[in-house]
Structure 1
């Protein structure tokens, strides 16, 4: 195993955060797809279960198809946005990694020109802090992976009950005050 330097640990931390970002984007994309599929299924169930006047089988199928096209439009928009987010995350990580490598190269050049190792010693002293950052990044990767796996699972997504509107709260407060 090669000895770790501040630079190698910093680059590894950037890689871990890159992975966290990609897993969160994947969870968002997968979660949206699951919600869209659930909405489509529930809408079709409701339309097919009800006896609607002026709606025969063909009209119901047309209504379901129109709703699925609309949700498909939303899902495609999310897919395009998440693809852009994936690209942005990769570019950002590559830019930061390149910056770290340039700083490391410049530092090595300065140390060589001045025939000193002071900057290398500072990097060695900062290595324990870099390892703590790496451990935090590793735990974030594990957490985001669990989140992504949970969202991609086959369990039903719990739907939160709608919150009471502010208007109703104000009306109740006014009645109590009167």
Structure 2
């Protein structure tokens, strides 16, 4: 499975692609889309949209992962980040990719083992987990961390879904009436 992680931002949008075979994670590519700040907001969002479309075309991921945005102390910043995130979501949806969303806490816990880890810790663990020669840039590291998080969590989520399906299926074959099971 090939996973594209995206760390959206209105100034810098990170992306990272990994491949998963069993429990082995392999680095494929990463980078940062630098968005010009001297153009209008719609043009900035188009830069994110177009560049992520290109990343998807070039690396052909099977799924994507992105951090869920929460309201921070500055509502205007949160709104702008949400718009950058929307452009990224549109690029991924336009290319037919499923998008899996994770909280910052889930991502850090999955990669570092601690939900309150510092950015530097995330960068170092991404380097170690993917056996990289150097520490990745912050935006790329965050995107790779999203992809790693999905690689770690998706098998568990799939197993839970299978168990829930099996439980629902077995209930469907058995009728319960007045507290008694009927075959």
Q: Same fold (TM over 0.5)?
A: no
Q: Which has the larger radius of gyration?
A: 1
Q: TM-score of the superposition, structure 2-length normalised?
A: 0.25
Q: Which has the higher contact order (CA 8 A, sep 6+)?
A: 1
Higher helix share: 1
Higher strand share: 2
Q: TM-score of the superposition, structure 1-length normalised?
A: 0.25
